[in-house]
């Protein structure tokens, strides 16, 4: 089975003002309940229908009217999971604080299909536990008839209300073309391919909408001397919508690029680059606006992608003699200072050596030729796991790596 998540949106035109307030109350109650549970973990259980809410310095008792018992259970479960992950981080030596109270809750987990929530495909409606009238939604036709529906998330964004429905679909066998490629990540060309196909740029700069909305909001704030009226929240929502749109654009580009790579080749080699560090360094804006991080993460999770260790000197190494030559960032071609080997593009050369290195490690580990990788997909992903975080055994290059 393959796990997939479908997003459907609530039709806002079918929501009256009263119902919109009802939804807002649902999210507010989820926030109250979560905060009350964090404040008193022993005292609060999912059976409670009243919670204490801090207003100023006083505590007020509020009734939980909409939040169903299963939703309350999943909120408790979520808090416990967050505590677990904080603990794991602490055990790994990371500095962690305590779990904070939330000022806003925008996501509610609906964990059981038919109980916490229900889908009416014919009327394209979704019913949520605790709320009497079902919501009219758009986008249910995306879910195939043979899908097995699992849990769902009710999400409030600047652009509207959404359900993220998780489904399990029967796995379809893919036949991949027998081609292999190495990919080099970079700033100038985001993705360079070793097989000579055109480099792909996955940069989505900040849109005009973001600039306009943020300018509008800041100007109005300046005019009013920092006072936030009801119009301020409208402007803030406009800005959030603009950011959301930009993020969607970036995500779309990343998904399409990854799809093309994973379905176009049966052996893909990438290097485990520290893209986060580039962001901290000289190229903050370029990395922030590009979707490289998402693409790398998604590629790493694909079964036919092979990851070469980040310590492998793909830019410096010569494919002929195996010695290292340092190149400054502005030099775009490659010249070996030991044997005189020349390549027109240092990025294409880097992609080629990444592919060679990955093939070498793969064949030494599996004892098979890399061209059979389609049959050995499971093994391939296994080796990726095996070498994540440590340096893979390097062939003839290893001798020179120390001379840097």
Q: Under the rule (CB under 5 A), what is the footprint of Zn ion? A: 318, 320-321, 336, 338-339, 341
Q: How far apart are CB 403 and Zn ion at their closest, in Å?
A: 13
Q: Closer to Zn ion by CB, 274 or 339: give it.
A: 339
Q: How far is the CB of 343 from Zn ion (least distance, A)?
A: 10
Beta bridge partners of 110: 152
Measured from the CB of residue 184, what is the shortest distance to Zn ion in angstroms?
Answer: 18
H or E element in which residue 192 lies: strand 191-193
Q: Which of 230, 266, 286 is nearest to 380 (CA)?
A: 266
Q: Nearer to Zn ion by C-beta: 137 or 336?
A: 336
Beta strand segments in 17-114, E: 50-55, 58-63, 107-110
CB of 312 to Zn ion, least distance (A): 16
CB of 249 or CB of 342, closer to Zn ion? 342
CB nearer Zn ion, residue 120 or residue 333:
333
Residue 91 CA to residue 392 CA, distance in Å, equals: 27
CA 282 to chain centre: 24
Instruction: Please compute, for residue 287, the number of CA atoms within 13 A of its CA located in the half-sphere on the CB side.
Output: 16
The angle, 0 to 180 degrees and rounded to 10, between the axes of the packed helices 230-264 and 292-300 is 50
The structure tokens listed for 304 are: 């036919």
Cα angle at 306 between 302 and 310, to 5 degrees?
115
Which of 113, 341 has the CB closer to Zn ion? 341
Query: Residue 374 has which token pair?
Result: 């389609």
Q: In terms of CB distance, is 62 or 323 closer to Zn ion?
A: 323
Least Å distance, CB 203 to Zn ion, is 33
| Minimum CB distance to Zn ion, residue 317 (Å) | 9
How far is Cα 100 from Cα 58, in angstroms, rounded to an integer?
Answer: 19
Residue 46 or 341 having the CB closest to Zn ion: 341
The least CB distance from residue 351 to Zn ion, in Å, is 17
In the numeric block, the tokens 């949520």 are attached to: 128
Residue 184, φ and ψ in degrees, nearest 5: -110, 130
């Amino acid at each position: 089975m393959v796990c997939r998540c479908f997003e459907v949106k609530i039709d806002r035109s079918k929501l009256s003002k009263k119902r919109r307030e009802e939804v807002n109350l649902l999210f507010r109650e989820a926030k109250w309940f979560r905060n009350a549970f964090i404040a008193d973990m022993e005292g609060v259980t999912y059976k409670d229908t009243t919670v204490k809410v801090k207003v100023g310095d006083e505590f007020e008792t509020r009734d939980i009217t909409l939040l169903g018992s299963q939703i309350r259970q999943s909120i408790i479960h979520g808090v416990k999971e967050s505590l677990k992950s904080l603990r794991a981080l602490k055990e790994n030596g990371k500095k962690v604080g305590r779990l904070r109270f939330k000022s806003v809750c925008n996501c509610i987990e609906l964990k059981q299909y038919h109980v916490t929530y229900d889908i009416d495909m014919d009327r394209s409606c979704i019913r949520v536990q605790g709320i009497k009238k079902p919501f009219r939604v758009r986008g249910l036709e995306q879910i195939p008839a043979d899908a097995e529906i699992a849990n769902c998330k009710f999400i409030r964004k600047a652009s509207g209300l959404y359900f993220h429905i998780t489904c399990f679909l029967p796995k379809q066998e893919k036949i991949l073309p027998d081609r292999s490629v190495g990919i080099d990540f970079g700033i100038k060309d985001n993705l360079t391919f070793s097989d000579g196909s055109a480099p792909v740029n996955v940069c989505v700069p900040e849109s005009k909408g973001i600039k306009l909305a943020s300018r509008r909001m800041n100007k109005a704030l300046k005019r009013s001397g920092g006072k936030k009226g009801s119009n301020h929240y409208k402007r803030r929502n406009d800005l959030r919508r603009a950011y959301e749109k930009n993020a969607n654009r970036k995500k779309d580009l990343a998904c399409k690029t990854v799809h093309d790579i994973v379905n176009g080749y049966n052996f893909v080699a990438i290097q485990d680059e520290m893209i986060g560090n580039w962001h901290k360094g000289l190229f903050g804006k370029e990395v922030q606006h590009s979707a490289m991080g998402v693409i790398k993460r998604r590629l790493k999770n694909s079964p036919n992608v092979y990851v070469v260790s980040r310590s492998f000197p793909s830019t410096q190494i010569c494919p002929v003699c195996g010695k290292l030559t340092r190149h400054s960032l502005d030099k775009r071609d490659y010249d070996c200072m030991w044997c005189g080997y020349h390549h027109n593009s240092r990025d294409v050369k880097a992609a080629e050596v990444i592919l060679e290195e990955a093939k070498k490690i793969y064949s030494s580990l599996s004892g098979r030729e890399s061209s059979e990788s389609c049959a050995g997909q499971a093994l391939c992903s296994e080796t990726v796991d095996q070498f994540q975080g440590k340096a893979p055994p390097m062939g003839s290059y290893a001798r020179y790596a120390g001379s840097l």
